[in-house]
């Protein structure tokens, strides 16, 4: 049975060219070597989620896929995304180009650059003020729930 070397589909013996890829079919597919996965590199830390989304879109428009990651508890509870720091991460082969693309946005704010570039890709410490806000929010929510259940609703 012949195979397409591009899409690796299998065809009947009478087919000579892949109808999708327009490649000549071969009897055997070449063996693939296992590829080493590229690690994610932290290139910058945005002060809030909307700014991180904007930077991710800038990278996407240039063909660089990125990941936005937050290290606080906003996913576990409702907190405004304007107060949480977000890391922008890209695959290692695209890191230099991504840094070059984000330089105009980051040149006036050196604290937004990834400390990982200078410290061997270690995680960047989170802002203590955002942790304080998260814990304060949790305490307020718990107090409201306790008041609601023990005091009851007004009638």
pLDDT (tens digit per residue) in 10-25: 888 898 899 888 889 8
Say if residues 98 and 66 touch (Cβ distance below 8 Å): yes
Q: Which DSSP helix (H) or strand (E) runs through 145?
A: helix 128-151
Domains along the chain with CATH numbers? 1-31 (no CATH), 40-151 (3.30.70)
Q: Over the stretch 31-73, which tens digit does the pLDDT of each residue have? A: 776 677 888 888 888 888 888 889 999 999 999 999 888 766 6
Of the listed ranges 39-48, 64-73, 106-115, 133-142, the one predicted with least confidence: 106-115
Is the pTM higher than 0.85? The answer reads no
**How far is CA 40 from each of CA 1, 8, 17, 69, 122, rounded to the nearest angstrom?**
40, 29, 38, 11, 12
């Amino acid at each position: 049975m012949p195979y397409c070397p591009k899409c690796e589909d299998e065809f009947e013996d009478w087919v000579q060219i892949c109808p999708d890829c327009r490649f000549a079919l071969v009897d055997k597919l070449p063996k693939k070597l296992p590829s080493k996965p590229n690690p994610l590199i932290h290139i910058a830390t945005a002060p809030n989620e909307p700014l991180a989304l904007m930077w991710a879109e800038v990278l996407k428009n240039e063909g660089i896929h990125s990941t936005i990651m937050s290290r606080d508890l906003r996913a576990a509870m409702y907190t405004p995304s304007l107060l949480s720091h977000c890391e922008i991460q890209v695959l290692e082969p695209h890191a230099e180009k991504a840094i070059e693309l984000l330089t105009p946005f980051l040149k006036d704010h050196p604290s937004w650059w990834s400390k990982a570039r200078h410290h061997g890709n270690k995680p960047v410490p989170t802002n203590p003020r955002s942790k304080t806000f998260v814990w304060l929010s949790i305490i307020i929510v718990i107090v409201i729930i306790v008041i609601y259940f023990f005091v009851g609703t007004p009638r």
